[in-house]
A and B are shown apart, each in its own frame.
Chain A
Amino acid sequence: MARATPIADPAELASLGVKGDFPIFARRFEGRELIYLDSGATSQKPAVVIDALAEHLRAHNANVHRGVYALAQEADAAYDGARRRVAAFVGAQPRTTVFTKNVTEAINLVAHAWGRGSAAGRANVGPGDAILITQLEHHANIVPWQMLCRERGASLRYLEVDERGELSPEQLDAELARGDVRLVAFAHVSNVLGTIVPVAEMTARIRAAGAVSLVDGAQAVPHMPVDVDAIGADFYAWTGHKALGPTGVGVLHGRAEIMEVMEPFMTGGDMISSVDFQSAEWNELPYKFEAGTPPIAEAVGLGAAVDYLSGLGMERVRAHARALTAYMLERLGEVPGLRVVGPPEAERRGGLASFTVAGIHPHDVAELADRGGVCIRAGHHCAQPLMRCLGVGATARASVGVYNEPGDVDALVEALLAGREVFGL
């Protein structure tokens, strides 16, 4: 995955020159431009996505999978077409690509439908079994497993992050060798440290040990080429709104053999093939996991988003994030008292940097950045266990998107330097 892209002019790559594609950047805040460095929370949307969403609602809106009239067939084509494009974007099959609300719902789907299920006459998770996650997970990839383990009498164990913010394959091997691990769930890219986890290497070890793997790709899919098939995870989840798409639509890719024997997560309309007074039979994949009216317009919007990203080229998107992150790490180093957490090299991290500034609480750092018109996030980033490992209550985080340019980083650094003066530092 870490294939090097030849870079002729690094300065050029630090900007893709696409800010004009995103209408929100025409806004002014008290006369100032919007400098948005919070794409790790949610990305801004290009006009093509906004237009696709609006055009669907304006001209093609009907419910899916039920109507025989021409308009309903258009809606079906749009929704299923979006599924095909979204699946193809990450090298997955449409049949095993489920639309969810977000990554949280995708992980809950697996924790419920697989975690509470059984295969070949054995509960997938029972007393004495273990679920293995890592210290760098988002709460969405912690709490569903805590609940499952509590309910099933299983134990929840953690892979540790080292001082560089990385996981150890040796510790994974040692944990798997204990023979009780049923599932390993981990992020592709840490939303706090930025660490790029060697996912394919990990899933191979997990599969060899007979355990199931789940990868949270929320911070990876928007920013780098991702090939779900090559990664080889049993489940891979990501979300639309961080990938230039609308909120309300997430994606779960799964391995067909596992998904076929899983019971549904939520039940109701659309996910059945027939319903009797006392029982029901489940629809085929992927519809078995899509109860009720799905996020149709949002999926169409996400289809437009992945087309836009493909148009940019994901190798270029990754090269841009890497170049801009390298620039950000370099410039943040100019701020006295500033400490960045996570891998020191841009090569080993996604497009974000979490940091602390001595003498200024992260919330105040974010407030001071806002004085300079710069949007960054502060807090525990829904990763409180990781915060404890880092020995901090919170960090400030700047995260980049395809629209960011070196000037945005310059504005952040200026705002931080001015903020230190406000605090008399």
Chain B
Amino acid sequence: MDDLYRDYILDHYKRPHNFGELDPHDLEALEHNPLCGDELGVHIRVADGRIEDLRFHGHGCAISQASASIASEELIGMELEEVGELDADWMIELLGIPVSATRRKCALLNLKVVRGAVTGDHTWPE
């Protein structure tokens, strides 16, 4: 079996969960991966201080699309305060594959977008 391109990664890549538009929405952000020009945006609907619903949109590699898809399952229902505290380790652990230094940004792009929408912090997660 391939270390990086595991079946579940490819499944999420080919059929990403929670992708599309969400209208109306309360929060949104759009980010680019400067390395490859990939683009990922998010629409978030908020209720009672939590992410009630969320949709990603954009294009990217298997790692970035699968990361967003996998993260979306965790993010829906999460308190906004908690979202602001998520870091890179959370995402990498959730993804469950060895991510090389050059592909790290692919995996973290979705968290950057979501954190940007929720907290206004547009820096790369560390």
What is the interface of chain A, defined by CB distance below 8 A to chain B? 359-364, 367, 378-380, 384, 387, 393-394, 422-424
Which of B5, B10, B36 contacts A380 (CB under 8 A)? B36
- CB pair A394–B5 under 8 Å, yes or no, is no
A369 smallest CB distance to B (angstroms): 13
Confirm or deny: B59 has a beta carbon within 8 angstroms of a beta carbon on chain A. yes
Q: Interface residues, chain B, CB within 8 Å of chain A?
A: 2, 4-5, 10, 14, 35-39, 59-63, 65, 103, 106
Q: Which residue of B lies closest to A383 (CB)?
A: B37
| Docked-complex contact A384 and B10, CB < 8 angstroms | no
> Is there an interface contact between A361 and B35, defined as CB atoms closer than 8 Å?
no
Which of B5, B14, B39, B62 is the one whose CB lies under 8 Å from A393?
A: B39
* Given A361-B62, A422-B5: A393 touches B106 (CB 8 Å cut-off): no
Contact between B36 and A394, CB atoms less than 8 A apart: yes
A363 touches B37 (CB 8 A): no
When A423-B5, A424-B10 are in contact, do A364 and B37 touch as well, CB less than 8 Å?
Answer: no
Flag if A380 contacts B37 (CB, 8 Å): yes
For residue A364, which residues in chain B have a CB less than 8 angstroms away from its CB? 5, 61-63
Complex Cα gap A424–B8 (Å) = 12
A387-B60 CB under 8 A given contacts A363-B106, A423-B5, A424-B10: no
The CA-CA distance from A422 to B5 in the complex, in Å, is 7
In the complex, A422→B62 CA distance in Å? 12
Q: Which residue of A lies closest to B7 (CB)?
A: A424
* Given known A-B contacts A394-B38, A422-B2, A367 and B103 have beta carbons under 8 A apart: yes
Residues of B within 8 A of A424 (CB): 10
On whether A361 and B5 interact (CB within 8 A), knowing A379-B37, A393-B37, A393-B38, the answer reads no
Interface centre among A359, A361, A387, A423 (most CB of B within 10 A): A361
30 contacts across the A-B interface (CB closer than 8 A): A360-B62, A361-B59, A361-B60, A361-B61, A361-B65, A362-B36, A363-B36, A363-B38, A363-B62, A363-B106, A364-B61, A367-B4, A367-B103, A378-B36, A379-B35, A379-B36, A379-B37, A380-B36, A384-B37, A387-B37, A393-B36, A393-B38, A393-B59, A393-B60, A394-B36, A394-B37, A422-B2, A423-B5, A423-B62, A424-B10
In the complex the two chains form, what is the Cα distance from A361 to B14 in whole Å? 11
* CB nearest neighbor in B for A382: B37
Chain B CB within 10 Å — which of A359, A362, A364, A379 has the most? A364
* Residues of B close to A359: CB separation below 8 A: 14
Chain B residues, CB < 8 A from A384? 37
CB contacts (< 8 Å) of A423 on chain B: these are 5, 10, 62
